[in-house]
Amino acid sequence: MRKLTVPISEVTIRELTVGEPVILSGVISTGRDAAHKYIIDNFVKTGGNPPEAERELYAKLQDILTEGVIYHCGPVVQQQNGTYSFVAAGPTTSIREEPYQADVIEHFTLRAVIGKGGMGTNTLQACQKVGAVYLHAIGGAASLIAQSVKEVLTVYKKDEFGVPEAFWVIRVEDFPAVVTMDSHGNSLHDKIKSQSNAKLAELIGS
């Protein structure tokens, strides 16, 4: 099992291959539909010259996401004595972010995307170009994964986007995942789909 520490170098990412289990430690950010659209509209489409009101957050996100990790997650969060903690932190189905993900990977030089279900061709091509991987987290294990979230450092856009869609900046330790899309053009999701279709054709044909 490979141990990954954020920020992650391109060299380390290029060494990973599909099917390899990893445990991840460091500071990462959650981000779902609203977060990805926000990044596209304010940072990607402006060529890295965001509106003045968004420049401070842009600088903070650059620090977090450059050679970093974004997690497709809509957490269940509790607040006690002014401190946030994750009650549940299961992965969101990632294909919803396919229209945005390649541009986000390239803009920030992301090294990993965590989610469930895999992503499409554009994301896979961006992983090859930039040096990134898709990490499949365990679906249905939201409470277990939350144990890997050791600290909620801050949150951005919570009031605007709502709790599930906000940028939650978290420190994780030994977050378990599996590489299912690598930087060499391999996708375990595509392979399984192809094998399933072939088996289905065989069964129908028989």
What is the rounded CA–CA span in Å between residue 180 and residue 124? 10
pLDDT at 25 over 70: yes
Average pLDDT over residues 177-199: 75
Percent of the chain scoring above 70 in pLDDT = 90
Report pLDDT digits (tens) over 133-142: 999 997 666 6
pLDDT band at 200 (very low <50, low <70, confident <90, very high): very low
Residue 205 confidence class, pLDDT cut points 50, 70, 90? low
- Taking the domains of the chain in order of start, what are their residue ranges? 2-205
What pLDDT sits at residue 140? Answer: 63
* Residue 54, helix vs strand vs coil: helix
32-60 per-position pLDDT tens digit:
999 999 999 999 999 999 999 999 999 99
- The CATH classification number of 2-205 equals 3.20.130.10
**Is-catalytic flag, 36?**
yes
Q: Which two tokens stand for residue 76?
A: 């269940």
Q: Summarize pLDDT for 138-173 with one digit per residue, the tens.
A: 766 667 788 899 999 999 999 999 999 999 999 999
Strands 112-115 and 133-136: parallel
pTM of the predicted model as reported, rounded to 2 decimal places: 0.91
DSSP state of 19: T
Cα separation of 28 and 135, whole Å? Answer: 13
pLDDT digits (tens, 9 = 90+) for 65-122: 999 999 999 999 999 998 999 999 989 999 999 999 999 999 999 999 999 999 999 9
Instruction: Find out whether 40 and 103 touch, Cβ atoms under 8 Å.
Output: yes
H-type alpha helices, the chain: 10-15, 33-39, 55-65, 98-108, 121-130, 142-146, 158-161, 188-205
Q: For residues 36 and 3, what is the distance between their CA atoms, to the nearest angstrom?
A: 27
Q: Which of 36, 107, 136, 189 is catalytic?
A: 36
Alpha-carbon separation of residue 42 from 4, 38, 39 (angstroms): 30, 6, 5
pLDDT of residue 196: 46
pLDDT score of 141: 63
Give the separation between CA 190 and CA 193, rounded to whole angstroms: 5
Return d(Cα 134, Cα 181) in angstroms, integer: 5
Residue of 19, 24, 69 lying closest to 187 (CA atoms)? 19
- Token pair of 113, please? 């995307």
CB 149 within 8 A of CB 89: yes
